């Protein structure tokens, strides 16, 4: 099948635009999404095509963005609310965790809140501490919401479409570093191409060690796997794609084959994605475990401005490869 390389930003834009064309109730709101054309240019051209009613610039009001999306969703719309970066979504944590995620439960199923929060995530180049977070696990902590974190263009396309069409609230993060990164998308892609919420994917097969990752971590895992292959170590790369629900069957089946695991994430190490996967593995796969589970994450420190020490704090492919070498 013919394919061409598409940047993840373009794939997300395409998915969002197609969903807005498909369903009149889908609309976007957020800071600079309309006239500015989106801080990350995801909504470029949207204002022209859909107008101010469906492409809504908001003030710098994250608490309201978070909560207005809930109210609009309760009342029958399907908002796609953008947090310019996920760092600002902290301001909306109450709206997300206490309202979006719980409104169905505390009225025992009376209402639903079909909304998507989009947020650009990850550290930038010297963006400094308050603008350098990949805190997806914080949001995945709360039952009632799903969390999706794509690692390439085709996944982003199918995951965002599923998120918009699903009746549950979804927090959808987009790695800033992956926005410009091209990856193949089929030319004749079906507009109904959906990736089920909570379905992971094997991005590379291998029998010696399982690398579990999401979003940008998948890139580092794949780079590390190529490097390791030169030394005769075949790594299997499991891209969970969703932090909630977690497709642990995929991890378990890989682990039963490799008996070794390194977990890779862009976020911080304490109470993290890595902690969760490692805990689940030891609880459920103890008999298959031939080596300690290793975790590669950012260093446990706020990110500094200066380049050398910034890079020192962050995960990369080499750190992943080094961790693998400790257990194979």
Partner 1 sequence: MAAPTKEMLLDWYRQMVLIREFEETCHRLYEEKRITGVYLHLYSGHEASGVGSMAALRKTDHVITAYRDHGIGLILGMDPKAVMAEMMGKKTGSSGGKGGSMHLASAEHNFWGGYAIVGGHLPLAAGIALASKYRGEDDVTMTYVGDGATNNGYFHESLNMSAIWDLPVVWIIENNGYGMGTEVARASGQVELHRKAEAYGIKSFGRVDAQNALEVYAVASKAVEYARRKGPAVIEHVTYRYRGHGVSDKQYDARDDMSAELQEWMATREPIKILRDCIESAYGDVAAILAGHEADAARIVAESVKFAEASELPATYEDLMRNAYVASDLVHKSEGSVGAGID
Of residues 77 through 96, those in contact with partner 1 by CB under 8 A are 77, 79, 94-95
Judged by CB under 8 A, does residue 286 bind partner 1?
Answer: no
How far apart CA 225 and CA 235 sit, in angstroms, is: 5
Judged by CB under 8 A, does residue 148 bind partner 1?
Answer: no
Among 61, 282, 306, 318, indicate the residue that binds partner 1 (CB under 8 A). 61
How far apart CA 262 and CA 135 sit, in angstroms, is: 19
Catalytic residue of the set 10, 18, 62, 265: 62
Question: 197: which 2 tokens?
Answer: 């919420």
Quick one: which segment of 35-43, 56-64, 124-132, 204-212 binds partner 1 (CB under 8 A)?
56-64
Shortest distance in whole angstroms from residue 131 CB to partner 1: 21
Shortest distance in whole angstroms from residue 160 CB to partner 1: 12
Class of residue 5 by CB neighbours under 10 A (exposed 0-12, middle 13-18, buried 19+):
exposed
Among 171, 213, 248, 317, indicate the residue that binds partner 1 (CB under 8 A). 248
| CA distance to 61, 68, 91, 105, 155, per residue, from 274 (Å) | 32, 33, 25, 28, 22
Query: What is the separation, in whole angstroms, between the first and last Cα of the chain?
Result: 37
Among 63, 301, 311, 312, indicate the residue that binds partner 1 (CB under 8 A). 63
Among 22, 41, 165, 325, indicate the residue that binds partner 1 (CB under 8 A). 165
Residues 6+ apart with CB under 8 A from 161: 15, 18, 19, 192, 193, 194, 195
How far apart CA 237 and CA 224 sit, in angstroms, is: 10
CB 92 within 8 A of CB 62: yes
Among 22, 199, 319, 325, indicate the residue that binds partner 1 (CB under 8 A). 199
Site size toward partner 1, by CB under 8 A: 62
Query: Shortest CA distance to 106 belongs to which of 74, 64, 68?
Result: 74
Question: 303: which 2 tokens?
Answer: 């990110």
Judged by CB under 8 A, does residue 23 bind partner 1?
Answer: no
Shortest distance in whole angstroms from residue 67 CB to partner 1: 3
Shortest distance in whole angstroms from residue 256 CB to partner 1: 12
Q: Which is nearer to partner 1, 41 or 199 (CB)?
A: 199
Quick one: which segment of 109-117, 120-128, 201-209, 286-294 binds partner 1 (CB under 8 A)?
109-117
Shortest distance in whole angstroms from residue 173 CB to partner 1: 16
Shortest distance in whole angstroms from residue 219 CB to partner 1: 23
Shortest distance in whole angstroms from residue 307 CB to partner 1: 35
CB 189 within 8 A of CB 6: no
How far apart CA 143 and CA 230 sit, in angstroms, is: 42
Quick one: which segment of 121-129, 138-146, 287-295, 309-317 binds partner 1 (CB under 8 A)?
138-146
| Whether 18 is catalytic | no
User: What is the Cα Rg of the chain in Å?
Assistant: 19
Quick one: which segment of 52-60, 127-135, 149-157, 258-266 binds partner 1 (CB under 8 A)?
52-60
Of residues 178 through 197, those in contact with partner 1 by CB under 8 A are 194, 196-197
| CA distance to 19, 51, 226, per residue, from 47 (Å) | 15, 5, 43
Query: Shortest CA distance to 13 belongs to which of 112, 52, 23, 33?
Result: 33
Residues paired with 173 in a beta bridge:
119
Q: Which is nearer to partner 1, 105 or 305 (CB)?
A: 105
Judged by CB under 8 A, does residue 105 bind partner 1?
Answer: yes
Catalytically active residues, by annotation = 62, 131
């Amino acid at each position: 099948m013919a394919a061409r390389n598409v940047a993840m930003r373009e794939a997300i834009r395409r998915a969002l635009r197609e969903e807005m064309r498909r369903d009149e109730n889908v609309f976007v709101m957020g800071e600079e999404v309309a006239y500015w054309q989106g801080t990350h240019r995801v909504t470029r051209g949207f204002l022209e095509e859909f107008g101010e009613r469906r492409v809504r610039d908001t003030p710098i009001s994250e608490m309201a963005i978070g909560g207005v999306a809930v109210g609009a969703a309760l009342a029958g719309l399907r908002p796609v609310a953008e947090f310019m970066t996920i760092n600002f979504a902290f301001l909306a944590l109450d709206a997300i965790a206490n309202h979006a995620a719980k409104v169905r439960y505390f009225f025992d199923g009376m209402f639903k809140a079909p909304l998507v929060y989009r947020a650009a995530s990850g550290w930038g180049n010297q963006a400094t501490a308050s603008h350098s977070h990949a805190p997806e696990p914080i949001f995945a902590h709360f039952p009632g919401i799903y969390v999706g974190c794509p690692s390439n263009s085709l996944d982003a396309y199918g995951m965002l479409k599923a998120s918009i069409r699903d009746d549950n609230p979804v927090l959808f993060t987009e790695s800033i570093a992956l926005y410009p990164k091209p990856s193949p998308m089929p030319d004749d892609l079906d507009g109904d191409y959906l990736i089920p919420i909570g379905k992971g994917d094997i991005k590379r097969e291998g029998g010696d060690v399982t690398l579990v990752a999401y979003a940008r971590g998948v890139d580092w895992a794949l780079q590390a796997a190529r490097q390791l292959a030169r030394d005769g170590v075949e790594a299997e790369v499991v891209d969970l794609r969703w932090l909630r629900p977690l497709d642990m069957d995929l991890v378990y089946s890989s682990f039963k084959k490799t008996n070794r695991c390194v977990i890779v994430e862009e976020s911080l190490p304490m109470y993290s994605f890595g902690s969760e996967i490692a805990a689940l593995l030891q609880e459920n796969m103890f008999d298959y475990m031939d080596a300690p589970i290793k975790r590669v994450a950012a260093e446990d420190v706020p990110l500094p401005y200066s380049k050398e020490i910034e890079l020192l704090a962050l995960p990369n492919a080499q750190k992943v490869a080094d961790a693998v070498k400790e257990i194979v």
